[in-house]
Amino acid sequence: MVFSLSKARLRSWQMSDTESLARYANNRKIWRNVRDRFPHPYTLADAEAYISTTQSDELLISLAIEVGGEAVGCVSLKRGQDVARLSAEIGFWLGEPFWGRGIITEAMERLVEEGFDAHGLQRIYAYVFEWNLASSRTLVKAGFVQEGCLRRSAIKDGQIIDQYLFARITQD
């Protein structure tokens, strides 16, 4: 799967991305805004394990964001199961040197389109930590709507926090 965007390319992960994945993912500012299963520090072994997962997990569509020939970030869809099988959670992060250029918003828009058109999804959603204004903004720019606030629903970095639920459905 390869998509050309205006400032980046989206493509499948390859084992040769291990080094760049570990380098850009190894950032506390990224870790602080994602689930704890995203490791910190982020080692080469962690990168290798993640790339293997992208190749074996049938519910996961994970694409590398490639800029200047290297993988500098990730956009993903994790499909639900049972009655939630037409829904997916979107995940995204970008290497800090590339922030503020609109790369992630365009990547999210493209992946959402793929999720709806090629994979038959009806709903794509994300949970955002209360302090993550950049993520909320990118989701709104990518057409997501804030559906609610899940009060005191997460513990991150030693703090109990609210999470905002954002979603986009096919009719939006």
Ligand X SMILES: CC(C)(COP(=O)(O)OP(=O)(O)OC[C@H]1O[C@@H](n2cnc3c(N)ncnc32)[C@H](O)[C@@H]1OP(=O)(O)O)[C@@H](O)C(=O)NCCC(=O)NCCS
Residues that bind ligand X (CB under 6 A): 30, 33-34, 92-94, 99-105, 126, 128, 132-135, 137-138
Q: Could you tell me the smallest distance in angstroms from the CB atom of residue 37 to ligand X?
A: 13
Q: How far apart are CA 38 and CA 31, in angstroms?
A: 7
Shortest spacing between CB 81 and ligand X, in angstroms: 21
Judged by beta carbon, residue 98 or residue 170, the one nearer ligand X is 98
By beta-carbon proximity to ligand X, the closer residue of 34 and 154 is 34
Residue 100 vs 148, nearer CB to ligand X: 100
The beta-carbon contacts of 133-139 under 8 Å, at least 24 apart in sequence, are: 134/99, 135/33, 135/92, 136/164, 136/166, 138/92, 138/104, 138/105, 138/108, 139/108, 139/166
What minimum distance in Å lies between the beta carbon of 167 and ligand X? 13
- At residue 97, φ and ψ (nearest 5 deg) are -60, -15
Q: What share of the chain is helix, strand, coil (3-state, %, to 5)?
A: 35, 35, 30
Given the complex with ligand X, which of 10 and 103 has the nearer CB atom? 103
- Residue 56 CB, shortest distance to ligand X, in Å, is 23
